[in-house]
Every structure is written in C-alpha cells, then in structure tokens.
Amino acid sequence: MLRDTIVAMKTFLSRSELVTRAAVVVRDQANTLVRLRLADSPWVAQSGERWLIETIAPYCSTFVDVGGNRGVWSELMLQGAGPAKRGLIFEPSTSALAVLRDKFAAHPELTIVPMAVSDHPGTATFYEEENAGGTSSCVPGYSKPTAQPREVQVTTVDAALAAHGITNVDVMKVDVEGFDLRVLKGARALLTEQRVGLVQFEYNQMWLGAGSTLREAVDWLESLGMKVYLLNTRGLWIPDFRRYGEHLGLSNYVAVSPAWQERMGPHLRGPI
C-alpha cells in the first residue's frame, strides 16, 4: 500500500516541469559527488598511475602504452626499478609523435607506432588537437573545437604485437579518450590467453560517445579471469559497480590477471 502511494506521488510530481528540472539539478549534483569520490588526477605524475608504475616496475620487462601522447607514462616506466624494459607506444597524433620521437630518440628499446588502436584494423577519423592536446580522440564531439579531423591508420593490439614479435606483456596501459574498451577488445587473444599481467585503462565521459560502458568492460574482463579495481593515489580499491553505475567521471581502473593476483594482493585497500 505504501509503495503504491509513493509511486503515485512520484508519477504526479513527474508531470510538473519545474519539479522535473529540479530533479535533474539534484541528480547532476549527486553524480558530481560520485565522480569526485572515484576520480583520479588527469596528470599522470599526480595520480594513482604514478603509484602503480612505482609498484609494478620491479616486475615489468615488457609494456604497451596505447595512447602515448607526450610519453609521460612510458618515461616513468623506463625510470622505474627492476629489469631493463622493452616498450611499444601507440600514438596517431602528429604533434604528439614529434614529442615522442624527440623524447625517446636515445631509447632503441622503445618502438613508436604511428597508428590509432581499436578492435579491428582499418582507418578512422581522428580529431587531433594542436600541441599534442590530451583530449584528441576518435570519438566525435568531445575534443576541443579547434581539433582538426583527419583519417588515420588503425591497428589492434593483437595484430601489432604479433608484427613486432611480442608474445607476452607485463603491463598494458590504455588511455585513448573513449575508445578504451575497443582497444581492449582488440587485445582479445592476448587477454583470453592470459598473456598480459596487468591492464590499466581510463574511463571518462567520452565512453558515452563511443557506445561503451564500464559495466561491459568489467563483465568482459572478469569473464576472462581478471579482477578489476579502481585506481587512485592511495592504491587499488574494490568498487561497487552496480551502486555507482555509469558515472562517466575521469577515473582509472586496473584489471589484474590470475598470475598477478598474489603479487598485487598487498596493495588492495578494500571496498570504496
């Protein structure tokens, strides 16, 4: 009886444009709180990404950086402790490629691939910002208004690794402004055969334009035996994906393979 009364009241209130507008404002503010709780800094050196690199570098000899941009993530990985490292960096932006080639000119152990990455090879329209802008993307409508569209070559992680003779990867980082799940799907063989130890990927509002959801990414990765955690400067957290839903706030997630579960166990911080 009480439930029917509540439903009837909500139905009545929903007919008011003013109440509906107020509900949207309240919802947006509530979503902002959720995003802030789960958010990480957009700057690698100030985010959980740096903590993660410092934690895993001693165990890493091979890494893949999808969305290299200015090379900050790869540079920190090379500076990390542990064995000598071989890296593959993917970047389609011409201005970012110039930065990468200059920065890593003295590092033959790094291979820079001037291509975008997705779930199938071919071509795509890439909206490129000037000066190696950090929100250049293959997702239309999200980059800066000054971004210039151009056609770029697209590969997959599986195809590129096979072409470069790489069979196993310790760490794969994905930050491609919305196409992250497509990149992961393009590493299907690598992930299915558990030939990657750990995957870090970024989640943000551009996922909406790409038609991707965090729920799909988590379900798919966990179906392959991986465990997915939220990353921030305090460590790895167990998020309640069903509670928070598609918050579309900038955040980083880490998928850990069975082989790396014990290794990362001491760094789990519990539920968030």
The answer to pTM > 0.95 is: no
* pLDDT of res. 8: 75
pLDDT tier, 129 (very low <50, low <70, confident <90, very high otherwise) = very high
CATH number for the domain harbouring residue 167 = 3.40.50.150
Domain ranges, residue 220: 43-271
Mean pLDDT across the stretch 126-145? 96
In a domain, 6, yes or no: no
Q: Residue 228's pLDDT is what?
A: 97
Report how many helices (DSSP H) and strands (DSSP E) the chain contains, helices first. 12, 12
What torsion, rounded to 10 degrees, do the Cα atoms 207, 201, 105, 108 define? -130
Q: What is the mean pLDDT of residues 249-265?
A: 95
In a domain, residue 21? The reply is: no
**Which residues in 44-81 are b (16+ Cβ under 10 Å) and which e?**
beebbbbbbbebbbebbebbbbbbbbbbbbbbbbbebe
pLDDT at residue number 11? 81
The answer to whether residue 132 sits within a structural domain is yes
What digits encode the pLDDT tens for the residues 219-228? 999 999 999 9
Task: Report yes or no on 32 lying in a domain.
Answer: no
Evaluate whether residue 171 is within a structural domain: yes
Is the residue at 231 inside a domain?
Answer: yes
Q: Tell me how many domains the chain contains.
A: 1
Structural domain includes residue 3: no
The span from the CA of 84 to the CA of 81, in Å, is 9
Q: At what angle do helices 48-56 and 72-79 cross, to 10 degrees?
A: 30
Report yes or no on 235 lying in a domain: yes
